[in-house]
Structure formats: structure tokens, C-alpha cells
């Protein structure tokens, strides 16, 4: 069970106060009125869990044989990045910050099949088990199913999936989801009306086995905190490699789940807040639309993406880079209407190694936790 709400808010205030104090020391001009500790009504988190490997080897393969080899390389990297260990670190982040609502992206299900296949991974129950082990009560309020790719031949010879012939006896399927978690121990917080949808605009990626898509979508709930109504939305927009598609999805988001009223939105928006990649961030935060909970004047750059590495034969993104390579801010907590971010009440989580051996990082992204008044 959670600690009483006052202790929860106090713990969050300690984190934000420590961060702001460090920044104030470096930048004395920060106004005193922006100091944290004003006890926000609501705390929310956005967290990309990471598939466990870059899919680039499969997406850049030019032959069916190359695609099969790439799938084996990708899944070997998924095993290497060890989601059960990363889930422990993610659960620690949630325990430390006690968010009332959590928007998760890349809540992946890797399903293996065939003769003596290697283990599969379903990230959601693994994370839920880690949360329950800490006495935390988070319910899955809403889910959207996005990409479903495969089954694809899994030629992991060292794991018994290639028999004489040669015959590949194993297969693997990738399924991607975005999820909303609700803290069952938050007093006065109720929710209803789970909704989900996919964007009309989608990127198609050519491959030797036909076009692939991540079928990006969104998920939402209607919520009340002490009778104050708001909508909570979570999404994952297309990558900056497809700017026109991403920007069309941002427009759909604004016209759909993010339209009017009091809305708090979390997500991996894949658009750099500094404007260096696509215009989606500017679309979303234009006057009269969403406000960004992260104030760079108070809190610094707030970088959240991405941990990169290249260590063949592992696929890129093996999380074995000991030094952080975060360089942009694309993971956002936004609000409109009566939901107002409390100045200085936001922190980045997961931007330091959680252990001394690979995988060093809980995800290839860092997460953001922010406090709001309604």
C-alpha cells in the first residue's frame, strides 16, 4: 500500500527541491516564487519502456535471408537488455515518485513459438509484478494495441532454433502497446470511460517481407480528483524519420483526444522541444493549445532521448553505453484547461545508470514526472 498522500507529496517535493536547488546554485537569477514544494494536487509520469532493441537491422535488410538474420540479432539484443532487470529499476522510479497516473509507451509483448523456443517477454505483467512486490497498487486503466509484427523466423542457432537441414524451428512476434496505469491508493481519484484509437496517418516501412507499420495510437480515460474533472491521455507519435506523418498525427491528436476541456497528456511525441527535428512540438504547444509542464528556465534542458550504442553482433540500442547519450527532449507531460503545472514540480527519472553492469539503463529514454494543480 502507498504511504499517506502527504508523505507521497513530500517525497516528490524532496526530488524536485534537490534538482531545483542545484540549478538555483548554478543560476542565481531564478525567482524565489518558482521554488517547489507547493504540494501539487496530482502527480503524473510519462515513461517509454523501450522495446529492448533497435529494429533497424530488420528495417534495413535487403533480402529475405538478411531479414531472418536481422530478426535473430534483434531478439538476441532483447534478451541482453533484460527487461525483468529493467522492470525492477522502473518500479523503483515509480516507488520513489508515487505518480497518481502513469502513461507508458512501448509496453511490448515478445511472443516466441515453435520447437523449444527461447523465453518470451510480456512487459506489462513483469512490471506489474515488480510494482506489487513493493506494495504498490497500480491498475491498468486503458490499453491501445499498436504494431503487431510477425511471427518471423527466429534463427538463434545457439539456442536450439536451427536444426540440421538447416531448418528454423522457432518464431517470434512483436506486439506494441501504450498503457495508462492508475494509482489505486490516491484518495479522491476516480476514473471511467477508457478510450483508444489509432491515427489515420501511419508510416509504412518497406522490408523484404512486405511493408511494416507501427500503427501508432492513443489511449485515454476520464478522471476526477476530489470532484475536479479532467481527461488523461497517453500517446506515442511516429519518429522524426517521417516528419509529415508525425505532424499529421499531432494534428489528429489535437482534434481528437487532446481537444478542449481540461486535459493532461503524456507521451513520447518524438519531436524535439528545441525545434531541431519536426514541428509537432510547436503545433502542440501553440498559443491556446497545450502547456509544457517542463520549464527549461527553472529545470534545465530535461533531456530524455536516447541511449545509443553500437556493439556488434548485438543490434544498436543494447543499453551497454556506460556514459549517457541523451541529447533531446521528446518525452513530454502537457496540459490544457484547468490543469496547471506547478512551477518547478517536475523531475527527469532514469537518466543515470541503475546498475554497474549492462544493461546500464532502465530504458533508452528517460522519463518525466510532473505535478499539477487542477
Q: Which residues of 262-299 are buried (b: 16+ CB within 10 A; e: fewer)?
A: bbbbbbbbbbbbeeebbebbebbbeeeebebbbbeebb
Cell 470532484 locates to 227
C-alpha cell at 42: 496530482
- Which uninterrupted H or E stretch holds 70? helix 64-80
Residue 29 lies in a domain: no
Residue 61 lies in a domain: yes
Identify the CATH number of the domain in which residue 294 sits: 3.60.10.10
Structural domain boundaries, residue 144? 5-23+39-373
Beta carbons of 330 and 271 less than 8 angstroms apart:
yes
Residue 33 lies in a domain: no
Domain count, the chain: 1
At 364, give phi and psi (nearest 5°). Answer: -80, -10
Residue 32 lies in a domain: no
Residue 222 lies in a domain: yes
d(CA 294, CA 269): 14
Residue 28 lies in a domain: no
pLDDT string in tens for the chain (374-residue length): 444 343 345 455 545 554 444 433 433 333 333 344 468 999 999 999 999 999 999 999 999 999 999 999 999 999 999 999 999 999 999 999 999 999 999 999 999 999 999 999 999 999 999 999 999 999 999 999 999 999 999 999 989 999 988 899 999 999 999 999 999 999 999 999 999 999 999 999 888 888 999 999 999 999 999 999 999 999 999 999 999 999 999 999 999 999 989 999 999 999 999 999 999 999 999 999 999 999 999 999 999 999 999 999 999 999 999 999 999 999 999 999 999 999 999 999 999 999 999 999 999 999 999 999 99
Question: CB-based contacts of 255: which residues, under 8 Å, 6+ apart?
Answer: none
With CA atoms as reference, report the closest residue to 78 among 104, 114, 111, 102.
Answer: 111
Residue 180 lies in a domain: yes
Residue 296 lies in a domain: yes
C-alpha cell at 27: 543560476
Amino acid at each position: 500500500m502507498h504511504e499517506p498522500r502527504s508523505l507521497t507529496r513530500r517525497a516528490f517535493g524532496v526530488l524536485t527541491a534537490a534538482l531545483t536547488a542545484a540549478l538555483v546554485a548554478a543560476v542565481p537569477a531564478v525567482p524565489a516564487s518558482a521554488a517547489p514544494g507547493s504540494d501539487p494536487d496530482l502527480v503524473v509520469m510519462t515513461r517509454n519502456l523501450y522495446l529492448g532493441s533497435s529494429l533497424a537491422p530488420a528495417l534495413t535488410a535487403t533480402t529475405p535471408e538478411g531479414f531472418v538474420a536481422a530478426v535473430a540479432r534483434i531478439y538476441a539484443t532483447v534478451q541482453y537488455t533484460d527487461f525483468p532487470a529493467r522492470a525492477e529499476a522502473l518500479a523503483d522510479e515509480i516507488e520513489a515518485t508515487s505518480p497518481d497516473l502513469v502513461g507508458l509507451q512501448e509496453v511490448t509483448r515478445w511472443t516466441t513459438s515453435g520447437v523449444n523456443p527461447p523465453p518470451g517477454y510480456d512487459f506489462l505483467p513483469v512490471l506489474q509484478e515488480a510494482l506489487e512486490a513493493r506494495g504498490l497498487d497500480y491498475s491498468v486503466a486503458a490499453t491501445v494495441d499498436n504494431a503487431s509484427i510477425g511471427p518471423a523466423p527466429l534463427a538463434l542457432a545457439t539456442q536450439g532454433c536451427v536444426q540440421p537441414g538447416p531448418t528454423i524451428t522457432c518464431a517470434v512476434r512483436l506486439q506494441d502497446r501504450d498503457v495508462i496505469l492508475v494509482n489505486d491508493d490516491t484518495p479522491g481519484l476516480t476514473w471511467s470511460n477508457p478510450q483508444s484509437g489509432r491515427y489515420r496517418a501511419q508510416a509504412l516501412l518497406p522490408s523484404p517481407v512486405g511493408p511494416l507499420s507501427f500503427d501508432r495510437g492513443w489511449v485515454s480515460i476520464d478522471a476526477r480528483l476530489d470532484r475536479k474533472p479532467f481527461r488523461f491521455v497517453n500517446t506515442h507519435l511516429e519518429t522524426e524519420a517521417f516528419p509529415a506523418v508525425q505532424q499529421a498525427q499531432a494534428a489528429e491528436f489535437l482534434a481528437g483526444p487532446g481537444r478542449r476541456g481540461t486535459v493532461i497528456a503524456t507521451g513520447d511525441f518524438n519531436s524535439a522541444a528545441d525545434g531541431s527535428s519536426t514541428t509537432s512540438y510547436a503545433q502542440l504547444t501553440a498559443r491556446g493549445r497545450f502547456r509544457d509542464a517542463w520549464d527549461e528556465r527553472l529545470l534545465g534542458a530535461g533531456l530524455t532521448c536516447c541511449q545509443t550504442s553500437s556493439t556488434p553482433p548485438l543490434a544498436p540500442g543494447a543499453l551497454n553505453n556506460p556514459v549517457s547519450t541523451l541529447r533531446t527532449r521528446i518525452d513530454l507531460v502537457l496540459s490544457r484547461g484547468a490543469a496547471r503545472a506547478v512551477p518547478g514540480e517536475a523531475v527527469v527519472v532514469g537518466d543515470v545508470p541503475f546498475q554497474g553492469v549492462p544493461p546500464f539503463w532502465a530504458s533508452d529514454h528517460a522519463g518525466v514526472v510532473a505535478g499539477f494543480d487542477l
